Amino acid sequence: MAGPEATRRAAELRAVLTDHNYRYHVLAAPIVADAEYDALVRELIALEEKYPELVRPDSPTQQVGSRTSDVFAPIRHVERLMSLDNADSLEALESWQARLARVLGREPDGYMCEMKIDGLAVSLTYQSGVLVQGATRGDGTVGEDITANVRAIDQIPRALGPGAPVVLEVRGEIYMPLSAFAELNRRQAELGEKPYVNPRNTAAGSVRQKDPTKTGERQLSIWIYQLGHVEGAPVFARHSEAMQWLGELGLPINPDSKRVDGIDAVEAYVQDALDRRHDRDYEIDGVVVKADVLAEQAAAGFTAKSPRWAIAYKLPPEEKTTILRDILVNVGRTGAVTPYAALDPVFVGGVTVTSATLHNEGELQRKDLRIGDTVVVRRAGDVIPEVVAPILDRRPPGAEVWHMPARCPFCDYPIVLAEGEAKARCTGGFACPSQLREYLFHFASRGAMDIEGLGYKTVDALLANGLIEDPAGIFTLEPDGLLELEGWGEVSVNNLLAAIEGAKDRPLARLLTALGIRMVGGTVAQTLARHFGSLEAILAATPEQLEEIDGIGPEISRSVAEWIGEEDNRRLVDRLAAAGVRLADAEPEERAATLAGLSVVITGTLQDFSRDTAKAAVVDRGGKVTGAVSGKTSALIAGEGGGSKLATAESRGVPVLNEDDFKLLLAAGPEAVGISTPSD
């Protein structure tokens, strides 16, 4: 039996992997390296194998990919698009081969070795030789209709040559050639725009454009690697023969694919792929090996997720060497000082890397990195680049150990490292131009005060021209000063001022988020706003009062208390108030008294309230919600299906209110429903 720890870990892994899948497949913006992702999958598989009762139908191990996004119409694939199992070492490749040989009763009669293209999997359908449908893989069962977009890609034939069958569905990988990617970024640079991060994400983004002409402009390519659903096609004995036939029909087939005999030849192909990783005009993230004989494929069959007759050998993350020119620091909005490496440009893992974070001084010293070192730089998939280690043999004489500067390079205030903390901090506050820049950007961002037009570019212009000295300064900007900024005219100035004016009236929760108190994100900000109703009340709160609030733990309350205690913050609040920013929500104050002193318990399902909104409605009016019925309970609010609590309430003589009574209680107070507070 799985213990509580295994059960909890499995649930956690399911949630984490579902999120990673969503980021990878839907947002095309993964946040972990493939190797890390695979390790999590392996951990979950191991748990599920050990404790089969932990397997859930919605487990990522039971699915291919993840849910689709809803911008494009869904398309159900006629045959499921499977995923591949991974091998991350030659040993794993060999054990795949041994397993396959065991299932077949002999070694497969030849393998097809193919490059694993790092792009976007698609399915293309031709009817009597005419391209009628393009679809993304999606979750393997349902993808998205991208027909108009694939028709705009020159490399994808809209019509096939003679001999095309009635129905031909093929699978392949759309990718952006490295030459096209470099050209695209050259143009971006010319336009003064930000470069695209890597070819894979750019290809995925290009295919999912709403306007297909944009897709067409991106010079995308495709390699077809698999036959899907066919009707009226010749019968082939081998995958390699089917691929050759597709090539003859006019579909792009990768000339780097190779049919080989025996596992040694497979390993030689893998080695060659590794050695010549950079010689191709497309990125690969591995090698796919398939049993070539189709009858053997049929005999080997599938697991829930992938074919037994194929495997993806994953290439290890790419590493390159370059020179560590300098170690500089960033200063963030809370003053955190983060060292980073300034590197000689190096193309690694599909992007040109010129800098990499070094996290903190401790990490830097662990790795013993020194300015002038030749260093190994690694970049795995889509993940941020990392300086792995110095090459000590090539260390220039006299290279010195790096230390955190004593003073901030932006403001010259002291940098301090508090006891027990990994991060050093600049003590400049708003006097530090870097802190102020980051703070202003955060303050105006969408999740905070949401001031449209106040991004980095504008913030930089305001700071460079001395128009602003702290966040309150946003609200006292004058048209005259703004009109002097380069490239600004009356329209842009008026738009910005209107956006700023609108931001004076934001709900308290947004203002709290904008203030950047550590550990106070959107949800905590809402809890605080609901509880206190005004910034003034928050400033007057004691740490004990903060900690009593549902949803505020000791760490958050300590952080808020610290913030409250700082003179600079109080001054900022005063300045915001003076600039006309609203510091209180109107409603809670009006409502506050009606349920004061009342303590209720909520049970069962209410029609018009979730548990949270019901609770908030009581709390907003000064009442308290507890989890269990006791002698102090003023009333039990019982929705559908309230069980044992109902019985307890009845046995203790606690009044029970249904949903209608509850609404009346909220609208008209306790007397209206005939209850009183225990102290009455």
Phi-psi region of 84 (alpha: psi -120 to 50; beta: other; left: phi over 0): beta
Task: State yes or no: residue 123 binds ligand IVH (CB under 6 A).
Answer: no
Q: Which of 226, 240, 360, 603 binds ligand IVH (CB under 6 A)?
A: 226
Catalytic residue among 50, 116, 320, 632: 116
Q: Which of 173, 296, 318, 386 binds ligand IVH (CB under 6 A)?
A: 173
What is the rounded CA–CA span in Å between residue 310 and residue 79?
Answer: 17
Beta bridge mates, 559: none
Residue among 243 and 426 whose Cβ is closer to ligand IVH: 243
Site size toward ligand IVH (CB under 6 A) is 15
Q: Which residue from 447, 495, 484 is spatially nearest to 462, judged by alpha carbons? A: 484
Write out the binding residues for ligand IVH, residues 74-103 only, by CB under 6 A: 82-84
What is the rounded CA–CA span in Å between residue 379 and residue 127?
Answer: 42
CB-based contacts of 661: which residues, under 8 Å, 6+ apart?
637, 673
Residue among 24 and 410 whose Cβ is closer to ligand IVH: 24
Write out the binding residues for ligand IVH, residues 308-337 only, by CB under 6 A: 310, 312
What is the rounded CA–CA span in Å between residue 339 and residue 357?
Answer: 6
Write out the binding residues for ligand IVH, residues 368-407 only, by CB under 6 A: none
Smallest distance from ligand IVH to CB 393, Å: 38
Residue among 177 and 332 whose Cβ is closer to ligand IVH: 177
Given the DSSP bridges, would you call strands 111-117 and 120-127 parallel, antiparallel or unpaired? Answer: unpaired
Task: State yes or no: residue 307 binds ligand IVH (CB under 6 A).
Answer: yes
For the CA atoms of 643, 645, 647, 649, what is the dihedral angle to 10 degrees?
Answer: -150
> What is the number of residues in the chain?
680
What is the rounded CA–CA span in Å between residue 10 and residue 22?
Answer: 18
Smallest distance from ligand IVH to CB 117, Å: 4
Binding mask 447-476 for ligand IVH (x = CB under 6 A): ------------------------------
What is the rounded CA–CA span in Å between residue 541 and residue 512?
Answer: 15
- Which residue is closest to ligand IVH by CB? 121
Token code pair at residue 207: 């295919």
Buried b (16+ CB within 10 A) or exposed e, 28-53: bebebbbeebeebbeebeebbeeeee
Question: Which amino acid is present at 507?
Answer: P
Task: State yes or no: residue 112 binds ligand IVH (CB under 6 A).
Answer: no
Q: Which of 288, 358, 426, 572 binds ligand IVH (CB under 6 A)?
A: 288
Strand positions, DSSP E, 537-662? 599-603, 624-626, 635-638, 656-657
Q: Which stretch binds ligand IVH (CB under 6 A): 115-123, 367-375, 614-622, 669-677?
A: 115-123
Residue among 133 and 599 whose Cβ is closer to ligand IVH: 133
Task: State yes or no: residue 117 binds ligand IVH (CB under 6 A).
Answer: yes
Token code pair at residue 68: 């689709």
Q: Which stretch binds ligand IVH (CB under 6 A): 113-121, 438-446, 490-498, 553-561?
A: 113-121
Q: Is 116 a catalytic residue?
A: yes
Residue 328 · residue 339 · CB < 8 Å? yes
CB-based contacts of 286: which residues, under 8 Å, 6+ apart?
86, 116, 312, 313, 314, 315
Task: State yes or no: residue 121 binds ligand IVH (CB under 6 A).
Answer: yes
Smallest distance from ligand IVH to CB 429, Å: 50
Task: State yes or no: residue 17 binds ligand IVH (CB under 6 A).
Answer: no
Task: State yes or no: residue 244 binds ligand IVH (CB under 6 A).
Answer: no
Q: Which of 24, 72, 126, 225 binds ligand IVH (CB under 6 A)?
A: 225
Residues that bind ligand IVH (CB under 6 A): 82-84, 114, 116-117, 121, 137, 173, 225-226, 288, 307, 310, 312
Task: Show which residues are catalytic.
Answer: 116
